Structure 1
Amino acid sequence: MKIKTLLFLYLAATLPNYTFSQSEDEAMLRKTFNEALTNGQSYQMLDYLSNNIGARLSGSPEAAAAVEWSRQQMMRLGFDTVYLQEVMVPHWVRGKKEVARIVNAKSGTIDLKVCALGNSVGTGPDGLAASVVEVKNFDELKNLGRKNVEGKIVFYNRPMDPTLINTFGAYGGAVDQRVNGPSEAARLGAKGVIVRSMASNNDDIPHTGTLVYDESAGRIPAIAVSTNDANLLSRLLKDDANLKVYMETHCEMLPDVLSYNVIGEMKGNRYPNEYIVVGGHLDSWDVGDGSHDDGAGCVQSIEAIRILMTLGYKPQRTLRAVMFMNEENGLRGGLKYAAQATANKETHIAAIESDRGGFTPKGFTISGSEKAKSALMSWKPLFAPYDIYDFGKPGGGADIGPLGESGTALIGFLPDSQRYFTLHHTDADTFETVDKRELEMGAGSMAALVYLIDKYGMDGKN
Structure 2
Amino acid sequence: MRTTLLLLLLVISTPFFAQSEDERQLRAIYDKALTNGKAYDWLNHLSNQIGGRLSGSVQAQQAVDYTREQLDSLGLDRVWLQPVMVPKWVRGTPEFAFIETKPGVTTNVPICALGGSVATPDVGIKANIVEVQGIEDLEKVGRENIEGKIVFYNRPMDPKLISTFASYSGCVDQRYAGAAEAGKFGALGVIVRSVTLRLDDYPHTGSMSYGDTPVSERIPAAAISTKGAELLSTTLKLNPDIKFYFKQNCKQLDDVESYNVIGEIQGSTYPNEVMVVGGHLDSWDLGDGSHDDGAGCVQSMDVLRLLKETGYKPKRTLRVVLFMNEENGLRGGNKYAEVARRKNEKHVFALESDSGGFTPRGFSFNCSDENLKQIQSWAGLFEPYLIHMFVEGYSGADIRPLMDQDLVLAGLRPDSQRYFDHHHAENDTFEHVNKRELELGAATMASLVYLIDKYGTIPNKKIKG
Quickly name the TM-score band, shorter chain normalised: over 0.9
Choose from 71, 76, 100 the match for 2:73. 76
SS in 1 for 2:192: strand
**Residue in 2 that maps onto 1:457:** 456
CA distance in 1: counterparts of 2:221 and 2:419, whole angstroms: 23
**Residue in 2 that maps onto 1:365:** 364
CA distance in 1: counterparts of 2:102 and 2:406, whole angstroms: 57
**Residue in 2 that maps onto 1:40:** 37
Structure 1 residue runs of 4+, over 3 Å off?
Answer: 5-11, 104-107
| Matched-pair contact (CA < 8 Å) for 1:125–1:248 | yes
Q: Does 1:159 align with 2:119?
A: no
CA distance in 1: counterparts of 2:405 and 2:125, whole angstroms: 47
**Mean Cα deviation higher: 209-218 or 15-24:** 209-218
Unaligned runs of 5+ in 2: 461-465
Unaligned runs of 5+ in 1: none
CA distance in 2: counterparts of 1:105 and 1:224, whole angstroms: 23
**Residue in 2 that maps onto 1:219:** 218
Choose from 52, 57, 60 the match for 2:57. 60
Counterpart residue type for residue 124 of structure 2: G
Q: Does 1:348 align with 2:314?
A: no
SS in 1 for 2:204: coil
| Matched-pair contact (CA < 8 Å) for 2:372–2:392 | no
Distance 1:367 1:107, change over 3 A: farther
SS in 1 for 2:347: strand
What aligned pairs does 1:145-156 form with structure 2 within 5 A after superposition?
145-156=142-153
Q: Does 1:231 align with 2:230?
A: yes
Deviations 1:422-444 (A, max 9, x none): 01101101110000000000000
CA distance in 2: counterparts of 1:460 and 1:143, whole angstroms: 50
CA distance in 1: counterparts of 2:334 and 2:316, whole angstroms: 23
Instruction: Give, in angstroms, the shift of residue 196 of structure 1.
Output: 0.1
CA distance in 1: counterparts of 2:153 and 2:8, whole angstroms: 66
Deviations 1:301-333 (A, max 9, x none): 000100011112111100000000000000000
CA distance in 1: counterparts of 2:218 and 2:371, whole angstroms: 43
Deviations 1:237-295 (A, max 9, x none): 11111111011000000000100000000110111111110000000000110000000
**Mean Cα deviation higher: 103-112 or 212-221:** 103-112
Deviations 1:356-398 (A, max 9, x none): 0000000000001122212221111110000000111311000
Distance 1:351 1:175, change over 3 A: same
SS in 2 for 1:314: coil
CA distance in 2: counterparts of 1:7 and 1:230, whole angstroms: 76
| Matched-pair contact (CA < 8 Å) for 1:371–1:460 | no
Q: Does 1:29 align with 2:26?
A: yes
**Residue in 1 that maps onto 2:332:** 333
Instruction: Give, in angstroms, the shift of residue 202 of structure 1.
Output: 1.0
Deviations 1:336-368 (A, max 9, x none): 111111111111111000000000000000001
Instruction: Give, in angstroms, the shift of residue 13 of structure 1.
Output: 2.8
Q: Does 1:181 align with 2:153?
A: no
**Residue in 1 that maps onto 2:82:** 85
Counterpart residue type for residue 340 of structure 1: V
CA distance in 2: counterparts of 1:105 and 1:409, whole angstroms: 59
SS in 1 for 2:396: coil
SS in 1 for 2:392: coil
CA distance in 2: counterparts of 1:370 and 1:44, whole angstroms: 38
Deviations 1:157-178 (A, max 9, x none): 0000001110001001110000
| Matched-pair contact (CA < 8 Å) for 2:101–2:239 | no
Counterpart residue type for residue 299 of structure 2: Q
SS in 2 for 1:220: coil
| Matched-pair contact (CA < 8 Å) for 1:371–1:458 | no
| Matched-pair contact (CA < 8 Å) for 2:95–2:248 | yes
**Residue in 1 that maps onto 2:303:** 304
Instruction: Give, in angstroms, the shift of residue 216 of structure 1.
Output: 3.1
Instruction: Give, in angstroms, the shift of residue 108 of structure 1.
Output: 2.9
Instruction: Give, in angstroms, the shift of residue 8 of structure 1.
Output: 5.0
CA distance in 2: counterparts of 1:7 and 1:291, whole angstroms: 59
Instruction: Give, in angstroms, the shift of residue 215 of structure 1.
Output: 2.3
**Residue in 2 that maps onto 1:263:** 262
CA distance in 1: counterparts of 2:285 and 2:29, whole angstroms: 34
CA distance in 2: counterparts of 1:15 and 1:90, whole angstroms: 59
Q: Does 1:97 align with 2:94?
A: yes
**Mean Cα deviation higher: 137-146 or 152-161:** 137-146
What aligned pairs does 1:96-175 form with structure 2 within 5 A after superposition?
96-105=93-102, 108-175=105-172
CA distance in 1: counterparts of 2:362 and 2:18, whole angstroms: 22
Counterpart residue type for residue 226 of structure 1: S
| TM-score, normalised with respect to structure 2 | 0.96
How large is the RMSD of aligned CA atoms in angstroms?
Answer: 1.6
Distance 1:398 1:460, change over 3 A: closer
Instruction: Give, in angstroms, the shift of residue 114 of structure 1.
Output: 0.6
**Residue in 1 that maps onto 2:463:** none
Counterpart residue type for residue 11 of structure 2: T
Instruction: Give, in angstroms, the shift of residue 104 of structure 1.
Output: 3.5
**Residue in 1 that maps onto 2:279:** 280
Distance 1:7 1:142, change over 3 A: farther
**Mean Cα deviation higher: 439-448 or 364-373:** 364-373
Counterpart residue type for residue 133 of structure 1: V
| Matched-pair contact (CA < 8 Å) for 2:46–2:294 | yes
CA distance in 2: counterparts of 1:8 and 1:360, whole angstroms: 47
CA distance in 2: counterparts of 1:187 and 1:345, whole angstroms: 44
Counterpart residue type for residue 201 of structure 1: R
